[in-house]
Structure 1
Amino acid sequence: MRQDKIILGIDPGTNIMGYGAIHIIGNDIRLLGAGIISMEKLKDQPLKMKRIFESTIDLLEQFKPDELSIEAPFFGKNVQSMLKLGRAQGIAIAAALVRGVPIFEYSPKKIKQSVTGNGNATKEQVAAMLQKIVSLPPRSPLSPKGREPERKAFDFTELKYLDSTDALGAAICHYFHDGMQSVRNSSQSGNKKVSGWKAFLAENPGRNTSPQPLSSGRGAKT
């Protein structure tokens, strides 16, 4: 059956929250939008939590996703940072629960593995691979003169923060993971349906999928 669904990815944070929305139509992955929600000017933690909740609700209303994919907090040495990220993730999840949107969580390593094939890939390599995987929405209708308006390809290097590409990576990871679940289910029923990362490579032989680092210089999440 032909897929047609919208996935919203979120990379939680108390200073910067990244988001990225994709529309899956068949085997095509179309970019709906990506960006960040900044809370750097808010010094009070409760105000940041309020901003995260309200912003997530706004994103859910804007993109109307069928599913939410969120990055799990990274377990590092800084306990305070882990606690803050956990709060941010919990607030975003609560917003999705309020709207009745199914939630899926993936570790940073799992997301990198799904997007690039390397669980230890850099953020720049993830962004570079997304540049090759994600396509733009269809062109707008013909102008009165019968000419299509010129469109520039979306350049991920234009994104100020890598948090937005991390969020897109979470959405892509869920798409591939969901596809592999379909493979398992169809295999059990005797079908030979193939989906996920390997299927994407097989169906898009012209794509150069070797990750290349992008020029950085963008802010990182704290």
Structure 2
Amino acid sequence: MRRIIGIDPGSQRTGYGIIDADRNSAVYVTSGIIRLPKQALPARLALIFDAVSQLLEEYSPVEFAVEEVFLARDPRAALKLGQARGAAIVAAVKAGLPVAEYAARSIKKAVVGSGGADKAQVQMMVTQRLALLGTPSEDAADALAIALCHWQTSATQRLLTSADSVAPSQFARGRNR
């Protein structure tokens, strides 16, 4: 089993979700929200860094996945989101974890089947796929969806890589001898 942490960054609330995954299944470990007080942004960024660092130390994931910054109507909000994301990524890099980044539409497509899914659909599918007894909050569900997306994507990449390594050399360049 590999332990994967997904992070849904935000400057007011940062969601996290941790799963254990093997080749065929994913199992829920924990999830929640890092709630940030109404302080100056630099202080909140330090709290995100510290909280994510603590999660990494406590749960020892081996892979880290985070949502990419999306274009927001408000450029200031997008900048704050990017900074929150950066604080979480720095915590992962300092812990020696590889960082995978996914677009929101890719995450929704991987978990729900539609890149335009709404928050309620993501919550429902995460609850079903991980056989949760209750529905996680939106931020925690998004973070779990990021972890599930990473699990699926990396499994597919491994399959493609292993298929390439066993492909007959006569087809390596698209030629049939």
TM over 0.5: yes
Match of 2:147 in 1: 171
Residue 5 of structure 2 is aligned with which of 8, 13, 17?
8
CA distance in 1, matches of 2:165, 2:150: 23
CA distance in 2, matches of 1:167, 1:102: 17
Residue 25 of structure 1 is aligned with which of 22, 29, 39?
22
Runs of 4+ with >4 A deviation: none
Q: Where in structure 2 are there 5+ consecutive unaligned residues? A: 168-177
> How far is the alpha carbon of 1:183 from its aligned partner?
2.0
> How far is the alpha carbon of 1:46 from its aligned partner?
1.2
> How far is the alpha carbon of 1:90 from its aligned partner?
0.5
Aligned length: 167
Residue 97 of structure 1 is aligned with which of 90, 93, 96?
93
Q: Which amino acid aligns with 2:20?
A: H
Q: Which amino acid aligns with 1:114?
A: A
Residue 126 of structure 1 is aligned with which of 115, 122, 125?
122
Q: Secondary structure at the match of 1:170?
A: helix
1:55-76 Cα offsets, whole Å, 9 max, x none, are 0101101210000000112212
> How far is the alpha carbon of 1:48 from its aligned partner?
0.2
Matches within 5 A, 1:55-66: 55-66=51-62
CA RMSD, aligned part only? 1.3
CA distance in 1, matches of 2:38, 2:50: 14
CA distance in 2, matches of 1:63, 1:75: 32
CA distance in 2, matches of 1:122, 1:183: 30
Q: Secondary structure at the match of 1:68?
A: strand
> How far is the alpha carbon of 1:87 from its aligned partner?
0.2
CA distance in 2, matches of 1:42, 1:78: 19
CA distance in 2, matches of 1:166, 1:182: 24
1:65-111 Cα offsets, whole Å, 9 max, x none, are 00000011221211000000000001100011111011100011110
CA distance in 1, matches of 2:12, 2:106: 23
Residue 38 of structure 1 is aligned with which of 35, 39, 47?
35
CA distance in 2, matches of 1:174, 1:27: 14
Q: Where in structure 1 are there 5+ consecutive unaligned residues? A: 136-152, 192-222
Percent identical: 35
Q: Which amino acid aligns with 2:5?
A: L
Tell me the TM-score normalized by structure 1: 0.72
Match of 2:79 in 1: 83
Q: Which amino acid aligns with 1:112?
A: K
Larger relative helix fraction: 2
